[in-house]
Amino acid sequence: KPSRRGGRRPALRRTKYREAVNGAHLWISAQWRMRKEAKRLAFSRFLC
């Protein structure tokens, strides 16, 4: 049983890494969206 758990550990690390990458991508996309929204708000404010 302990050896089986040891064999399962690398896969878990891989999924954790994938989750971290996906989370980073989501965060970056959210930041980009917020920046775009802020730019649009500033532009509308400038027009008004």
DSSP state of 45: H
Instruction: Provide block-wise average pLDDT over 10 residues at a time, the chain (48 residues).
Output: 61 84 91 92 84
Q: What is the pTM of this model?
A: 0.46
| Distance spanning both ends of the chain, measured CA to CA | 69
Q: How many residues does the chain have?
A: 48
